[in-house]
Chains A and B, each alone.
Chain A
């Protein structure tokens, strides 16, 4: 049956794009989560037409289809749990247009995020969303997971930059939503519904993105605090003083210690918290913001404040944060980044709770947070060869998310649900909203062939 299916697809779109070789299937059986599952067929699509053909055939035969970008998902969103067809989107990686008049980029889904950013920045424009895997991840994957990063505090996430989508639906029909217009209030906003749908509603084949002018300049500050509370007060105070940094990252002591063990980022190892702050804007504006941030941090008992003077110093300060995940991975073989998000004023409370949980289970839970938006990433670091450590994982997770939900937060700020957080998602959403989501899924994909079993 699989052989026939593969042959049929190959006959339509070309033999070289289709493989069922076990050596290839193995390579498309994982992502950045701990899960894996083998597909039956891998198809490297190179055009919208290819996608349409595959979906038409798959819907006839009712075989699962999973679009795959760079497989950096850390929630198992791209794992073929029930076999089926992997659509390898990396063959669709053209930037179709950068429209300098409308500040818009149009691209295929397989474009690597960092590549798009570099291209628009060459032209003085800016695509701000900055999920930390952006040098690997694809724009299509970012849209499908609603990815965001540190810049969310000022600039928002992927969601805020998608103006339109071309999506191939389960039966192979093409749906166009949105367009090159910035204002559009006709009908339901299906574009926003498709963002974050984790490949369960359709396969994106073209993406229209909003760009903004590249800020003239930026500056970085490294602020060191003796207590978590002082750092948290500083975060709130900075915002009260009407400065919205382009990034404001909070790292706890365990994180700075592990990062320093991995590389010398110039972080202290004895301070309870550090804040990495970047402000951007026009030259004058940036000078003003630096002065305010510095003053506020001083009044919040910052132990020391370092302002980067050169581009190199700036990069050095951020290099530590960027290497965060790597540093933890070097320390323990399995690092599970959790992704709780709470209202931003409750961030210190959440971080304290995480510390309590770490103590209770006697594990290290290094935590970095996007301080400006209430998103914290406690990282569960374990060695799977030690059975007792593995046992703890689920309990720790459960407690973290119970606390987050108690504080009015969510189980995932940016990584998504995939298969990893399905049970948690059921807890978070009301019965009614689950019914509505099920109905939406049915309307798009009546036979449940698109990435079945993911998202909620």
Chain B
């Protein structure tokens, strides 16, 4: 509690530097689709300050306003005094939860489902069964809309499938631990397999700790610090035990979370371990281009076209923007087409697309119309959360493209 108070105080103090110039209005996706001052960093900072100063009560409306920030950090990039709006709001939410219990609607969802991959997977399988039986039609209207966002759940998760494969490989140059993100595991096992294939092609021995848990980011952004701490600790331990040189993930969001584990802790001992861990974390795109050196295969992807959507957590979160494009451009035969406003958020933003559908959908609409302009056959992104959202966009706006992770196309060339 004290740590949070301290951090909050720091950020509150810093937010006094907001000069109300309005530059954030030019990039904030929630402002672009609503035009409301409560939906942009300038307004959010003011609301946060008035709340901290005790001038505003914690009403349901205020909670909603705090919750409506995507956390995409587009404002941070353009803000002259670099006000950390998203972080400030997260801290306030954390403090609220610690003071008042759990006032935000998602605590049950988080703890029951997201914190353990098996549970997440189970929930998604249940959803799929109810879809097949048609009983999803009986869901209450709110839930019915929400479940439409999710794609078909594959028969088996990555971890279930992988258990049946041999794990012995030796004599490779790098010893790499693969961190399995919940979304990749459940919805896109093929991405995980392609990541492994590509890593092996780049002379890596791949270790996959099966007991990894959620990266903790959903908890942290919704204000559940203790849970995110617990999860971080568990993941750190697992990888330290497996003695890998690098930890690689194909999920932009997980990568962002893992790289920032130090921020979860305040005890110097914890921070030391977290730093040791985080320094070894790489996004797959980054790892291939910057560590191993990119090697593409010989198979031609003739006639194929691909574009690239920047996941906020990759681009602004980890400053990884050129590497995925470099990979796509290097794949033989594949034609790369730049996406207009590629760094515009797709509206997924963790659970945002579930909780605040109307706004998320408007944000997505702009993304999809830009995708339409490229006429690309593959729309790639380095984060499965974005892929789910983009695929949802494809369905509701009836476009024809396939969502892919860049490594999938790279794997195809091998």
A 62-107 contacts with B by CB, 8 A: 70-72, 88, 90-91, 93
- Over the window 19-45 of chain B, the binary record of Cβ atoms lying under 8 Å from chain A Cβ atoms (1 yes, 0 no) is 111110110000000011110000100
Query: Is B266 close to A, CB under 8 A?
Result: no
CA distance A327 to B20 in the complex (A): 15
Given contacts A32-B19, A333-B17, contact A26 B56 (CB under 8 A): yes
- Residues of A near B57 (CB, < 8 A) are 22
Looking at the complex, which of B58-66, B286-294, B312-320 is the stretch in contact with chain A? B58-66
Contacts of A70 in B (CB 8 A): 22, 25
Residue B80 lies at the interface, judged by CB distance under 8 Å to chain A = yes
Instruction: Report the Cα distance A93→B25, complex, angstroms.
Output: 15
Q: Is the CB of A136 within 8 A of B17?
A: no
Q: Does B47 contact A (CB under 8 A)?
A: yes
**B146 in the interface (beta carbon within 8 A):** no
The yes or no answer to B16 lying at the interface (CB within 8 A) is: yes
Report the Cα distance A72→B40, complex, angstroms: 14
CA distance A93 to B34 in the complex (A): 12
CA–CA, A386 and B26, complex, Å: 32
B82 interface residue, CB < 8 Å from A? yes
Question: CA separation between A329 and B82, bound complex, in Å?
Answer: 10
A–B Cβ pairs within 8 angstroms, 20 of them: A23-B62, A26-B43, A27-B36, A27-B43, A27-B46, A28-B37, A31-B20, A32-B19, A32-B22, A70-B25, A71-B37, A72-B21, A88-B37, A135-B26, A136-B25, A326-B80, A327-B80, A329-B17, A329-B19, A330-B82
B38 touches which of A24, A71, A133, A329 (Cβ 8 Å):
A24
Chain B 72-88: CB-based contact to A (< 8 A → 1; otherwise 0): 00000000111000000
Given contacts A23-B61, A27-B37, contact A325 B80 (CB under 8 A): yes
- Rounded to whole angstroms, the CA-CA distance of A44 and B82 in the bound complex is 30
Q: Please state if A330 and B81 are interface contacts (CB–CB under 8 Å).
A: yes
A23–B38 touching, CB < 8 Å: yes
A297 in the interface (beta carbon within 8 A): no
CA distance A22 to B22 in the complex (A): 21
| Chain B binding surface SS class | loop
Taken together as a complex, chains A and B put the C-alpha atoms of A28 and B25 apart, in Å, by: 14
In the complex, what distance in Å separates the CA atom of A31 from the CA atom of B38? 14
- Majority SS of interface residues in chain A? mixed
Assuming A24-B38, A330-B82, is B21 touching A32 (CB within 8 A)?
yes
Cα–Cα distance between A71 and B57 once the two chains are bound (Å): 25
Q: Is the CB of B20 within 8 A of A136?
A: no
Tell me the nearest residue of chain A to B21, going by C-beta.
A32
Q: A24-B38, A326-B23 given. 6 additional CB < 8 A pairs? A: A22-B57, A24-B37, A26-B50, A27-B46, A136-B26, A330-B81
Given A136-B22, A136-B26, A333-B16, A30 and B82 contact (CB-CB distance below 8 Å): no
Residues of A296-335 whose CB lies within 8 A of B: 323, 325-327, 329-330, 333-335
Is the Cβ of B21 less than 8 Å from the Cβ of A21?
no
A133 touches B21 (CB 8 A): yes
Chain A residue nearest to B49 (CB atoms) is A26
Closest to B37 in A: A27
Interface residues of A in 120-162 (CB under 8 A from B): 133, 135-137
CB distance from A35 to the nearest CB of B (A): 10
Determine the chain B residues whose CB is within 8 A of the CB of A26 once the complex forms: 43, 46-47, 50, 55-56
B47, A27: Cβ atoms under 8 Å? yes
For B23, list chain A residues within 8 Å (CB). Answer: 135-136, 326
> Are A30 and B80 in contact (CB-based, < 8 A)?
no
Taking a contact as CB atoms under 8 Å apart, the answer to whether B56 and A23 are in contact is yes
Q: Which 6 A-B pairs have the closest CB atoms?
A: A326-B80, A27-B37, A136-B22, A27-B43, A329-B80, A90-B35
The contact size tier of chain B is 20 to 34
For the complex, count residues of A whose C-beta is within 8 A of B: 33
What B residues does A88 contact at CB under 8 A?
A: 37
Given A23-B38, A91-B35, answer yes or no on A329-B81 (Cβ-Cβ < 8 Å): yes
The answer for the CA separation of A423 and B251 in the assembled complex, in Å, is 59
Smallest Cβ distance from B64 to chain A, in angstroms? 9
- Taken together as a complex, chains A and B put the C-alpha atoms of A114 and B27 apart, in Å, by 13
Nearest residue (CB) in B for A327 is: B80
The contact of A30 among B36, B38, B46, by CB within 8 Å, is B46
Q: Contacts A23-B62, A27-B43, A333-B16; is A72 near B22 (CB within 8 Å)? A: yes
Residue numbers in A under 8 Å from B25 (CB-CB): 70, 136
The CA of A31 and the CA of B20, in the complex, are separated in Å by 6
CB of A330 within 8 A of CB of B80, answer yes
Residues of chain B with a CB closer than 8 A to A323's CB: 80
Task: Determine the residue in chain B with the shortest Cβ distance to A22.
Answer: B56
Contacts of B22 on A, CB cut-off 8 Å? 32, 70-72, 133, 136-137
List B contacts of A23 (CB < 8 A). 38, 47, 56, 59, 61-62, 65
Tell me, rounded to whole Å, the shortest Cβ–Cβ distance linking A123 to chain B. Answer: 19
Residue numbers in A under 8 Å from B38 (CB-CB): 23-24, 27
Q: Could you tell me the distance between the alpha carbons of A323 and B78 in the complex, rounded to whole angstroms? A: 10
**1/0 per residue A225-246: CB within 8 Å of B?**
0000000000000000000000
**Which of A26, A30, A44, A114 is the most central at the interface, judged by chain B CB atoms within 10 Å of its CB?**
A26
Which residue of A has the minimal Cβ distance to B39?
A: A27
Query: Which chain A positions have C-beta within 8 A of B80?
Result: 323, 325-327, 329-330
CB-CB nearest in chain B for A384: B16
Measured CB to CB, the nearest residue on chain B to A29 is B46
Cα A334 to Cα B21 with chains together (Å): 12
B87 to chain A, nearest CB (A): 18
Among the interface residues B19, B35, B55, which one has the most CB atoms of the partner chain A within 10 A? B19
Contact partner of A335 (CB less than 8 A), chosen from B16, B19, B55, B56, is: B19
Measured CB to CB, the closest approach of chain A to B289, in angstroms, equals 24
Chain B residue at minimum C-beta to C-beta distance from A336: B19
With A23-B38, A27-B38, A27-B47 as contacts: A32 and B56 at CB distance below 8 Å: no
Chain A residues lying within 8 Å of B19, measured Cβ to Cβ, are: 32, 329, 333-335
| Bound: A21/B21 CA distance, A | 24
- Chain A, 1-58, CB within 8 A of any chain B CB: 21-24, 26-32, 44
Q: How far is the CB of B25 from chain A (nearest CB, A)?
A: 5
**Separation of A91 and B56 alpha carbons in the complex (Å):** 26
B35 near A136 (CB under 8 angstroms)?
Answer: no
Assembled-state Cα–Cα distance A329/B36 (Å): 25
Identify the closest chain A residue to B22 (Cβ). A136
B266 vs chain A, min Cβ distance (A): 26
Contacts of B37 in A (CB 8 A): 24, 27-28, 71, 88
A327 vs B19: C-alpha distance when bound (angstroms)? 12
How far, in angstroms, from A22 to B55 measured CA to CA in the complex? 10
The docked-state distance in angstroms from the alpha carbon of A70 to that of B40 is: 12
A335–B19 CA distance with the chains assembled, in angstroms: 8
Complex contacts, A28 vs chain B, CB 8 Å: 37
Are A21 and B61 within 8 A (Cβ)?
yes
